[in-house]
Chain A
Amino acid sequence: DARVTQTPRHKVTEMGQEVTMRCQPILGHNTVFWYRQTMMQGLELLAYFRNRAPLDDSGMPKDRFSAEMPDATLATLKIQPSEPRDSAVYFCASGLAGDYGYTFGSGTRLTVV
C-alpha cells in the first residue's frame, strides 16, 4: 500500500532550537495538509497545499512556523525558534482534490524542553 512518510518519528529538542519536519506525500496526490495534535486542542489544521501552492496557512503562528513544498515529493514544516508549547504530534496527510480519503502519515512526535 502507498503511504505517507514522515521523518523523524520522534524529536526532542531544546527551547530556541530550529526544528524541521519532513513529509513525503503519496506520488500523484495533489493536496498536502499539516495538522498538529495535542490533548488540549485536538487536531488543528496548520497549513495545506494544492499542486504545491499554499492555499491556507492561517492556522500557523506566522512568527515561528513556516511550511513549504520545494517539490512534489517533499513537504516541510519548520519551527524557529521552538518553544515548549510546540510539543505535539505533527501529522502530514495527502490526497486528491475532491476525494476525502486522505492518507495520514504516522506523525512526528515533537518534545521541546
Chain B
Amino acid sequence: GNSVTQMEGPVTLSEEAFLTINCTYTATGYPSLFWYVQYPGEGLQLLLKATKADDKGSNKGFEATYRKETTSFHLEKGSVQVSDSAVYFCALSPLSSNTGKLIFGQGTTLQVKP
C-alpha cells in the first residue's frame, strides 16, 4: 500500500543551524510528493511540492528533492530561524488516484532555540 514515514521528533536546533527532516515513502509508480507545515494553533499549509523524479521543490528557504532511487523526499534548510518552529508533514498523492487524496506521515516537530 501507500505510506509515508518521517523521522521521529522532536528535532531541536539552534538558530542558523542546518536542518534535515527525513521522509521516505512507499507507493506504486510515481506519486506526487509534498511538505506541509503546521504552526501552533493553526491548520496545515503547503510548503513545497514535487511531481516527478528529480524535481526539486523550494519555498521560504526550504528545499526537497524527489529521489526515486531511494524513495525519499528529505526536507532541508540551510539556516533555520526561531519562526520555523512548527510541525512538518511529508505527504504523497498516489499516481493511481484521481481523487486528490493525500496520505500524510506522522509529522516531525521542529524546535528552534535562539
| Interface residues in chain A, defined as those with a beta carbon under 8 Å from any beta carbon in chain B | 4, 31, 33, 42-43, 45, 48, 50, 55-56, 91, 93, 95, 97-98, 100-107
Contact = CB atoms under 8 A, between A and B. Distances in A.
Contacts, number: 54
A15 to B, nearest CB: 26
29 contacts: A31-B100, A33-B102, A42-B105, A42-B107, A45-B101, A48-B99, A48-B100, A48-B101, A50-B99, A50-B100, A56-B99, A56-B101, A91-B43, A91-B44, A93-B43, A95-B100, A97-B100, A98-B100, A100-B34, A100-B93, A100-B100, A101-B46, A101-B49, A102-B44, A102-B46, A102-B100, A104-B45, A106-B43, A107-B43
Chain B contact-residue range equals 20 to 34
Nearest to B103: A45
Nearest to B6: A42
Q: Which 10 A-B pairs have the closest CB atoms?
A: A104-B43, A42-B106, A43-B104, A101-B46, A104-B44, A106-B43, A105-B43, A31-B100, A55-B99, A97-B100
Contacts of B49: 100-101
B42 interface: yes
B32 interface: yes
Given A100-B100, A102-B46, 16 more contacts: A33-B102, A42-B104, A42-B107, A43-B104, A45-B102, A50-B99, A56-B101, A91-B44, A97-B99, A98-B100, A100-B46, A101-B46, A102-B44, A102-B102, A104-B44, A106-B43
Contact of A43 (B41, B99, B107): B107
B89 interface: yes
A98 B98 CA distance: 8
A100 B44 contact: no
